[in-house]
Every structure is written in C-alpha cells, then in structure tokens.
Amino acid sequence: WEQHKLGDLANIVGGGTPSTNMDKYWDGNINWFSPIEVGNQIYKISSQRKITEEGYNHSSAKMLPIGTILFTSRAGIGKTAILEEEGCTNQGFQSIVPNKDKLDSYFIFSRTNELKEYGEKVGAGSTFVEVSGKQMADMNLMIPKRIEEQIIIGKYFSNIDNLISLHQ
C-alpha cells in the first residue's frame, strides 16, 4: 500500500443552498441533500427536497456524479452515503468525488470511521465544529497501489454490509 493525500485521489466538493425566499428555486427535479438525510443507509437515490434548474444556477451547489461519497462536514461530522443518482448538497457537506482510475467509491466508503475521526480531529469552529474541503483534501490515506485491489476490497466490504442488512 502507499500513502496518498485524499485530494490527490478525489475532488472534495462543498455544497450550497438556493435562496429559500425564492419559490421558483424549489420543488424542481434536481436532488438536493441535507445532512439530516444521511443516516445508516449506504446508498442515496433521491433527496427529500429538490431544487429547480434556476435554483441550481443561483446557488453554489455543484452537481455530483453517481459514486460520490456524501460526507457531512458539520454538526455531526462524518456521516456518509454513496450517491446512486446525480445530485447536489447544501453547505453541510464536503463530498468526495473519486477519480475513477485512482479511488474506488465503496473502498473509500468502507473507511468512513477514519474519515470521521480525521474530520473531528482537524475540524474547527466556535459555534459548531466544521471541517473544510481543504482540510479533507490534506488527509493522508494508506491505499493499495492498484485500483483493482481497492475494487476487490470494496466488493468484499459491500458483501459483508449486505449480509449484515439481511440479518437485521
């Protein structure tokens, strides 16, 4: 395995919120996730609230591709889920968009506890602790040299997670 910075393996993307005073920005068809929606589930397909194209264009939200790891970055740092449909988030996230030839989505998802511990350790703030995208990008990770090995490890943990779900 080799040590890498998370930012060398993935893009770290913050979120944004359209003005809640503008009705035309809301009730559209674009997934827009908030941290409260990320719980114990592994995958997220659809958000509770949706924004319009105009709302998206008038916010700092960024479209996140399938396979992105949603990572809550404040007020409950370290909750994660894997996106199964495109979507965006509010500013309570520093989402991890894996570089497809360098980082496997399920492999990095399986490291949620490490991500959470790191975020809690480096996070700052007086009202509530928050971890920035730059701080997340600076996280050192030991990972297999080859993406194929990450994929095998990711599938192994996925199978275990599925078995756990079946037994519950």
Domain ranges of the chain: 2-167
Rounded CA separation 122/66 (Å): 28
Residues ≥6 apart with Cβ < 8 Å to 159: none
User: 11 burial class (0-12, 13-18, 19+ CB within 10 angstroms)?
Assistant: middle
Task: Quote the mean pLDDT of the chain.
Answer: 93
Fold of 2-167: Adenine-n6-DNA-methyltransferase TaqI; Chain A, domain 2 (3.90.220)
CB of 33 closer than 8 Å to CB of 114? no
**What is the pLDDT averaged over residues 75-95?**
94
Determine the pLDDT at residue 126: 64
pLDDT tens across 13-42, in order? 999 999 999 999 999 999 999 999 998 889
CA distances from 56 to 12, 141, 142, 166 (A): 19, 33, 36, 37
User: What sign does the CA torsion over 79, 58, 6, 119 have?
Assistant: negative
pLDDT tens across 107-144, in order? 999 999 999 999 989 987 766 779 999 999 999 999 99
User: What sign does the CA torsion over 75, 78, 82, 86 have?
Assistant: positive
Across 11-15, 50-54, 154-158, least confident range: 154-158
User: What sign does the CA torsion over 148, 162, 110, 11 have?
Assistant: positive
Task: Please give the structure tokens belonging to residue 96.
Answer: 């991890």
